[in-house]
A and B are shown apart, each in its own frame.
Chain A
């Protein structure tokens, strides 16, 4: 228990105050994350209402199956993350590490699928400024793309890219927490870092729950 006592930082009076501060701080941070993504969602809303046809056309070039698989993968990772927090609250060292490894596994699958999808966009020339030959002309019909088509893919890469960066930041944090968990740094009295990482991870998953229909499903059927 000595290692746990050391986890109380000097400026807090007790664990309760420390935990409450961390929870409030984390939620405040997530509020700023909402505003951060909010700017993108606003831009999306503006241009989608301005160019509904182009956005519809753009969405038909996304793979709903890959997107759907990724959605399920992410939901699974949220479940394993919740299990890790539960294991931490019970003080199961092995449980924390195992569930977090599973979370990392699912997160990596998601990113792998994303790489496959990005590669396909690269081949079709849908990446603004990098490989953008398909954004102005449809190579099959040789027809010009409607105005707003390029904006759809600009938003696709900005939104999914920013989401992916959040996951890439999250995975090393999960790894550190897993190692600390294995070393017995967390127990029923103190598992705030696991819980805070969980909040972050769930937030990142929820962003995807919004991205998936907005980007993939508007072009379906």
Chain B
């Protein structure tokens, strides 16, 4: 990049980028129109009705009601259009499609630790396939960060203690900026990197390359054994927690009323803070893993519950009420780990 005047837009490299830019153009037009209209009228009146002599007596104008109503209602109508479009676009940008692949992102001062479901890991770089929806699960080990991809027009805060999600579908191969957008301390401006969009087969080759590692679902299975989770989360007489097979994506009846869908956020919360939303029919006996496990370990357990146990059939005979509501149809999650 030279030091010439830069283009006015960042690259349009995702499926939502064009729509965001069109909305931006509309907003710029509104900005230009009203600024020029009002500032122009102000100057025009200021010159046209300039004081000619000190004895000038202005003609008093009584404001007509229709005018006051007009300049209240017209901006209101414009605002309604912007509001509706903005909300629709917000849901579009933040609602991942069902067939999105998942990538775990952990923010830590001052780096992004990224793990693909095949096990490939990278830092401050994010390799993604072209034309495939990618869902990012974001957690932080310390302070609040924000994962910002301007070329894709997406951004999401990464908040310690909870999990946030974002998604995109890249439409251009190449390298694009990745920033931390929420101030996080001394090297905030160095907590950046790049997102690399590759053709699908190139991406598969990259996954198998030097960055490859143990898939998180496999790591999670080991942890599940080490922590002896199975001693409670199992079917039979010694069951003290809900069975996890086939649980992912299904609605769960909670103690004290209410249901919640067993999505990534809920499973994560149930690991780190199990007393928060206890499943109906169980006591909250599980230890709090809040500061016992690293974010990566929690992500591994989550991947195991989601991608391995979640694919299995829920056991039929259960002495306790099953965690999921009967007859609930959950969309099967596609396997992100096909490539391994």
Contacts and interface: CB of A to CB of B under 8 A. Distances in A.
A146 B275 contact: yes
B288 A51 contact: no
Nearest to A50: B276
A147 interface: yes
A51 B256 CA distance: 12
Provide the main secondary structure of the chain B interface. Answer: loop
Interface in B260-303: 273, 275-276, 284, 287-288, 290
A147 B290 contact: yes
Contact of A144 (B256, B276, B287): B287
Provide the main secondary structure of the chain A interface. Answer: mixed
Interface residue tally of chain B, by bracket?
A: under 10
B268 to A, nearest CB: 14
- Give the most central of A144, A147, A148: most B CB within 10 Å: A147
Contact of A53 (B273, B284, B287, B290): B284
B158 to A, nearest CB: 21
Contacts of B290: 147
B287 A147 contact: no
Contacts of A51: 275-276
A51 B269 CA distance: 13
A194 interface: no
Contacts of A147: 273, 275-276, 288, 290
Given A51-B275, A147-B288, A147-B290, 15 more contacts: A50-B276, A51-B276, A52-B256, A53-B275, A53-B284, A54-B275, A144-B287, A144-B288, A146-B275, A146-B284, A146-B288, A147-B273, A147-B275, A147-B276, A148-B275
Interface of B: 256, 273, 275-276, 284, 287-288, 290
Interface of A: 50-54, 144, 146-148
